[in-house]
């Protein structure tokens, strides 16, 4: 850890990528309005109809390949010049990586990766030309599944995320409805002296010590940088 720089932690959700053209989950016309979440993003749904779940994530990958990081992602990455920046994201896209952020924790998995059904330690990155998988797909001798944390499954990265949040000098939440746990509970682990911000055009209710910037990710990031 860089001892000279302040530790700045971003907790991001689907709203972070909205300006890149990736649909959020719970806004109007959000993904969960069009696809029953328990069919396409739960452990039971995958057991019931794996073909449908593969198809859903194939479509999400096709959307991601058409998308570019937005100004908000880029400003988060640029802050590494002055701060020890960590990104803890609920997003499964790779837009923080492509914008240049270097320390990223994906709480809910990664869209461009799949893993072996019979050995979860075997994770494979999909190439841009081969993003479609089915229950029949075999990679390296294994049937695979999306490298996504389904509802009803544990969130293995929550422990390292809590440790990072506990040590943060500044925490900035961006673009999340704060309804999915345990991600939504991370803010509770902030130190009493940490400065807290929340950028969202339609923010959830948060404790009064959090400074709310009621704007989209890009404009909100510009305002944040003026305030830091
Ligand atoms: P939601 O769809 O629940 O919330 C999106 C948030 O983004 C809302 O608070 C919007 O107001 C905000 N928003 C919309 N446009 C924005 C913009 N331009 N800039 C900033 N914010 C904007 O998405 P999440 O909170 O990320 O999990 O959802 C959490 C989890 O639920 C996801 O990771 C996903 C989903 O089920 C899994 O699939 C495992």
**How far, in whole angstroms, is CA 7 from its chain's centroid?**
19
Same domain, 116 and 223: no
CA distance 95 to 189: 26
Q: What is the pLDDT along the chain (228 residues), one digit of tens a residue?
A: 556 899 999 999 999 999 999 999 999 889 988 899 999 999 999 999 999 999 999 999 999 999 999 999 999 999 999 999 999 999 999 999 999 999 999 999 999 999 999 999 999 999 988 999 999 999 999 999 999 999 999 999 999 999 999 999 999 999 999 999 999 999 999 999 999 999 999 999 999 999 999 999 999 999 999 999
Same domain, 223 and 133: no
pTM above 0.95, yes or no: yes
Same domain, 11 and 33: no
How many domains, the chain? 2
How close is the Cα of 175 to the center of ligand 1, in Å? Answer: 6
Same domain, 208 and 165: yes
- Which domain CATH number covers 140? 3.30.1600.10
The single residue of 108, 142, 143, 147 carrying the catalytic annotation is 108
Which protein residue has the closest C-alpha to ligand 1 atom 15? 15
Same domain, 177 and 210: yes
Find the domain containing 181 and state its range: 1-21+70-108+154-228
Tokens linked to 180? 């999915």
Same domain, 199 and 220: yes
């Amino acid at each position: 850890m860089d001892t000279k720089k302040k530790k700045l932690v971003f907790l991001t959700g689907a709203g972070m990528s909205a300006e890149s053209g990736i649909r959020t989950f719970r806004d109007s016309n959000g993904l969960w309005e069009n696809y029953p979440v328990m069919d396409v993003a739960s452990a039971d749904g995958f057991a019931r109809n794996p073909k449908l779940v593969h198809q859903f994530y194939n479509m999400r990958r096709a959307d991601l390949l058409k998308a570019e990081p937005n100004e908000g992602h880029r400003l988060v990455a640029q802050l590494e010049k002055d701060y020890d920046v960590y990104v803890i994201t609920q997003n499964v896209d790779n837009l923080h990586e492509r914008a240049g952020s270097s320390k990223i924790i994906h709480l809910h998995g990664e869209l461009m990766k799949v893993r072996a059904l019979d050995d979860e330690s075997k994770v494979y990155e999909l190439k841009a030309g081969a993003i479609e998988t089915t229950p029949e797909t075999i990679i390296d001798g294994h049937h695979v599944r999306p490298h996504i944390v389904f509802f009803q499954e544990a969130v293995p990265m929550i422990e390292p995320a809590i440790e990072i949040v506990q040590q943060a000098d500044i925490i900035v939440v961006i673009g999340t409805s704060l309804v999915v746990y345990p991600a939504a509970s991370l803010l509770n682990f902030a130190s009493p002296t940490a400065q807290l911000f929340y950028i969202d055009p339609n923010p959830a209710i948060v404790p009064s010590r959090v400074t709310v910037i009621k704007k989209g990710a890009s404009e909100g990031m510009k305002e944040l940088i003026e305030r830091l």
